[in-house]
Structure 1
Amino acid sequence: MTQIRIEQQARQQLSLTPKQQQSVKLLQMSTLELSHEVNTAIANNPFLEEPDETQTDPEAKEQDTHTEMKAGTTQEHDMPDMPAAWSGDYPRPHNTVEGANDVGVWARSVTSLQDSLLADLCNYALSERDRRLAEHIIEAMDDNGYMRTPFSELVVPGQFDPEVDNDEWEIALRLVQQLGTPGLGARDLTECLRLQLEALHTATPRRALALQIVTGHLDKLGRNDTPGLAHSLRRTEQEIQAACTLIRGLEPYPGNRHSTVDPSCYIVPDVIVRKSNTQWVAASNRDAIPQARLNATYARLFRGTRYSERALMAKELQEARWLLRSLEQRGNTIQRVAQAIVARQQTFFEYGEIALRPLMLSEVAAELDIHESTVSRATSNKYLASPRGIFEFKHFFSRELPTQSGGTCSAGAVRALIQEMIEDEDPKSPLSDVVLAHKLEREGIVVARRTVSKYRAQIKIPSAELRRAF
């Protein structure tokens, strides 16, 4: 006889208030997306208006200030704060009663593929060695979500002790393939489709037949050879067509859904980097930041209404105040992150790509005492303009590669070195990837030939044979 056991469990759970959800939403937006959001809010909320730069009336300015102060004291009960045990990390202005916020610990944002998988990896209890293996695989995945780099090229000799064997890499890859969207981490299209089919419920119609097709007859599927598939698999053409319909509903490029930047968008830099004395510093691009303020007239009308009628306007005023505070928090966070990046990449702005140093999100997060996910949001779709050009914040985060001298260099610096060597080569006798690897080794940087090929492809330089001048 089956016994039914009923238990009560108590657990603590922190949920985000609407204000904190808005802060996350605004922080991860690009400047263009933010402008659209603010303009929409101004159009729909009577308590918001665009600042009038020509206003010089001292009395009007005083009314605006009084309106904001009054709003901050009369409506505070409408905005629940987080529990005392929760601590955040947004910058907090002095002499305010509202605490700082870092909702990034719990909230989810649209981030890069690597950031998303690394966040999922944190949910697994792994040894330091296993975690590092999985991280190397995640970092090697391309924008389509494929892991096309051979295991032998993921690390340099001597980076792990003992050396990593193929079985260890396979186990780490299987773990990564369980993260995120099914199909990620596949080494080819067959494996990508197979992983997605295996993730479907076993009772899915034609699942088993679809697995047979993708694992052994993908060429016939590509030619739409239904009769040939029916003959090879001894099934009816109707069954084959049903299985092919299931396969065509899969995603051949599972990494594409993680793309966060529309390349057709115009880039508006969030900060400007200039040299001040001997140091490079970052300053907010004020012209690019959308402005909004409380409408003094409507706020004055709100103060004059009877208590029974306040509910009609209280929600709009509350949302206006939330937006203004979230805008200020967003600007402060981006400015702090940008300055932390610039402070660590002084040599880049002085000498260029070849001097790009290794940098991790965790370094910036530790210095600013904020969560890595907050740094990730503050760097996604954010750009800085400098005398060397316009760069996305994430350009300055590059993996660390060891050197023979015991130091480290960034992958970005290695790519720059490869580009310099190719630019200086004899066009009639271009440098092969093997020769480039040897030249890098003489510079103290030990990378495999296939790694050189990968970096060369990333900077869109063709192979030696295609570069040869006749």
Structure 2
Amino acid sequence: MKPGLSLRVSQHLSLTPQLQQSIQLLQLSTLELAQEVEQMLIDNPFLERDAEDAGAPDEIAASLNNSSISEIYQSEKETEKAQAASESIAEPATAETPENLNWEADGIDGQDGEWGGESSSEWDSPSLSGSGSGSNRDSDDEVDAIDLAREHVSLTDFLHRQALSLHLGAEDMAALRFLIESLSDDGYLEDPLQELAQSLAGDDFEEREELEQRFSIALKLLQSLEPVGVGARDLAECLQLQLRDLIREAEDEGTTQAHMNLLLLAQNICAQPMDLLARRDLRKLTSLCGAREEALREAMALIARLEPRPGRRFMDVERQIVVPDVIVRPVRASSGRVDFAVQLNPDVMPKLRVHDIYASVLRRHKNSESHAALQQRLQEARWFIKNIQQRFDTILRVSEAIVERQKNFFVHGELAMRPLVLRDIADQLGLHESTISRVTTAKYMATPQGTFELKYFFGSGLGTETGGSASSTAVRALIKQFVDAEDTKKPLSDAKLADMLKEQGIECARRTVAKYREQLKIPTTTLRKAL
């Protein structure tokens, strides 16, 4: 093969570091952008916040001018390392592990059937309300679970506080604490006692048997605590524990026989397969429970008022507060017509600038060894500020185009939403669809109708009898409107909803109606039917 030289002309797209950073910043959410800015402020000494009170005194500026930028940067790094080292020095905390627990007790406190702490609960119906006082708990020391939940006290902490009042031996208390720590967030004990015992005892059969026995006793103690139903292994047991507590309260208060029969019937229903209750299969429940349909309906209504997740009110759920990137306000024009002004939210826009003093010092020391590297960091700071500004400019342009297209929505609501796809906005602004997709993801707009993600305003269109198209968002809103106004004794089927949409001039198949109904989290007709 003879070697030779040849020329070839080709085109290819090369993403510069500046363009890559611009794309990355564009797709970040507000929270992610704030984290990126904080990280950049730490990494790049030429970047600082543009605060009104920013600026160094003249004497500090003079001292900086007499030093090299590399010396300043190195001094800052050494200070940060010293602070990090001092913060990392702390006394080791002793944690309580299963290995530290003492399982060598000879006896078990308590007699069969006598468990400390009677449980109590709160109910929606006055006939079901009542609070029982525990036999081993002083009423003055009782703590309201709702108040604790507001203080973000976890379920395990609340149960540990109750366990302290049971006056158990060390081994029984350790077993109870271990079960409390094994609960799920909903208050269920999902792991079998055998597996919990095996995880501690390993292959030691005798120790495993002893642990299973202690866990069985601790489970009964756990299920006697508040909230009622905690420590259940499944939903059926959770409901039965609550009904058992209601029956005990009814016996103490001397309720009527009819109410007692209702509670017993509800307990019998929960003893049957739970799928029958979920499907509201009255026919099979009638044959299994031997009760009339009317009594079954009343008992099922009572069960519906029980709490299927005892630990729900103790969950420390982080509130996700949506901070809008764009704010839309109505503005009345001189002609009397209502327009909408679109502006960026100043609270989410980071105010950054290049550190003037560091930049001036760098210009004074052009001959230093680290000048080229530091000049690159200065350029990165300028690029970062420019890319952030470009990010918000693009968000504003896309938001203005959306408001222009969906002006009827801001006046009349979801039913006035128009079909809109990414390509429509991309063609209007001369941008690529991928850019519009990045802009509309995790970016929010505050409007007179509420706060929505920018992607919410996009939706496919369904054909109409007039030859036009209706937005899928408007169709979903119309379906929700139909369901809200339906007769609960005769709920509307998907086929009937499709016919009603057709009467409105919208061609929508039954499968599409079912898909939209599921997106709206509207249950089927069987589950919507009133008891």
Band the TM-score falls in, shorter-chain normalisation: 0.5 to 0.7
- 1:293 paired with 2:358, answer no
Using the TM superposition, give the Cα deviation of residue 50 of structure 1 relative to its aligned residue in structure 2, in angstroms. Answer: 1.1
Matched with 1:465 is: 526
Identity %: 48
Matched with 1:17 is: 16
Matched with 1:371 is: 432
- 1:26 paired with 2:25, answer yes
Letter in 2 for 1:454: K
Give the whole-Å Cα distance in 2 for the aligned partners of 1:346 and 1:361. 17
Runs of 4+ in 1 over 3 A off after TM superposition: 6-10, 54-57, 263-266
Contact 2:426 2:432 in 1 (8 A): yes
Q: 2:479 aligns with which of 418, 421, 427?
A: 418
Gaps spanning 5+ residues in structure 2: where? 59-317, 333-337
Using the TM superposition, give the Cα deviation of residue 448 of structure 1 relative to its aligned residue in structure 2, in angstroms. Answer: 1.0
Letter in 1 for 2:518: A
Give the whole-Å Cα distance in 2 for the aligned partners of 1:368 and 1:325. 20
Matched with 2:149 is: none
Letter in 2 for 1:40: Q
Give the whole-Å Cα distance in 2 for the aligned partners of 1:364 and 1:12. 28
Contact 2:344 2:396 in 1 (8 A): yes
Q: Deviations over 1:399-422 (max 9, x none)?
A: 011100111111111000000011
Contact 1:269 1:384 in 2 (8 A): yes
Structure 1 segment 117-128 matched on structure 2, within 5 A: none
Q: 1:280 aligns with which of 327, 332, 340?
A: 340
Give the whole-Å Cα distance in 1 for the aligned partners of 2:509 and 2:390. 45
Matched with 2:364 is: 304
User: If the length of structure 1 is used for normalisation, what is the TM-score?
Assistant: 0.53
Q: Deviations over 1:273-308 (max 9, x none)?
A: 111111123210010122211111101111111334
Using the TM superposition, give the Cα deviation of residue 463 of structure 1 relative to its aligned residue in structure 2, in angstroms. Answer: 1.0
Give the whole-Å Cα distance in 1 for the aligned partners of 2:482 and 2:499. 12
Structure 1 segment 215-234 matched on structure 2, within 5 A: none
Give the whole-Å Cα distance in 2 for the aligned partners of 1:312 and 1:397. 46
Matched with 1:443 is: 504
Contact 2:51 2:351 in 1 (8 A): no
Matched with 2:517 is: 456
What is the number of residues matched between the two proteins? 262
Matched with 2:167 is: none
Structure 1 segment 389-404 matched on structure 2, within 5 A: 389-404=450-465
Structure 1 segment 146-225 matched on structure 2, within 5 A: none
Contact 1:340 1:364 in 2 (8 A): yes
Using the TM superposition, give the Cα deviation of residue 383 of structure 1 relative to its aligned residue in structure 2, in angstroms. Answer: 0.8
Using the TM superposition, give the Cα deviation of residue 313 of structure 1 relative to its aligned residue in structure 2, in angstroms. Answer: 1.4
Give the whole-Å Cα distance in 1 for the aligned partners of 2:357 and 2:368. 20
Which structure has the higher relative contact order (CA within 8 Å, separation 6+)? 1
Contact 2:462 2:469 in 1 (8 A): yes
- 1:268 paired with 2:346, answer no
Matched with 1:351 is: 412
After superposition, the Cα gap between the structure-2 partners of 1:298 and 1:7, relative to the gap in structure 1 and judged at 3 Å, is: closer
After superposition, the Cα gap between the structure-2 partners of 1:265 and 1:318, relative to the gap in structure 1 and judged at 3 Å, is: farther
Q: 2:397 aligns with which of 336, 340, 345?
A: 336
Contact 1:42 1:292 in 2 (8 A): no
Using the TM superposition, give the Cα deviation of residue 443 of structure 1 relative to its aligned residue in structure 2, in angstroms. Answer: 0.2
Q: For 1:36, what is the secondary structure of its paired residue?
A: helix
Give the whole-Å Cα distance in 2 for the aligned partners of 1:275 and 1:382. 20
Contact 1:379 1:393 in 2 (8 A): yes
Contact 1:281 1:343 in 2 (8 A): no
Using the TM superposition, give the Cα deviation of residue 325 of structure 1 relative to its aligned residue in structure 2, in angstroms. Answer: 0.5
After superposition, the Cα gap between the structure-2 partners of 1:439 and 1:7, relative to the gap in structure 1 and judged at 3 Å, is: farther
Contact 1:47 1:317 in 2 (8 A): yes
Letter in 2 for 1:299: A
Give the whole-Å Cα distance in 1 for the aligned partners of 2:467 and 2:6. 57
Letter in 2 for 1:460: K
Q: For 2:495, what is the secondary structure of its paired residue?
A: helix
Matched with 1:161 is: none
Contact 2:40 2:47 in 1 (8 A): yes
Q: For 1:445, what is the secondary structure of its paired residue?
A: coil
Letter in 2 for 1:322: W
Give the whole-Å Cα distance in 1 for the aligned partners of 2:407 and 2:320. 29
Letter in 2 for 1:295: H
Give the whole-Å Cα distance in 2 for the aligned partners of 1:464 and 1:458. 15
Using the TM superposition, give the Cα deviation of residue 465 of structure 1 relative to its aligned residue in structure 2, in angstroms. Answer: 1.6
Give the whole-Å Cα distance in 2 for the aligned partners of 1:371 and 1:56. 41
Give the whole-Å Cα distance in 2 for the aligned partners of 1:391 and 1:345. 13
Using the TM superposition, give the Cα deviation of residue 265 of structure 1 relative to its aligned residue in structure 2, in angstroms. Answer: 5.5
Q: Deviations over 1:160-198 (max 9, x none)?
A: xxxxxxxxxxxxxxxxxxxxxxxxxxxxxxxxxxxxxxx
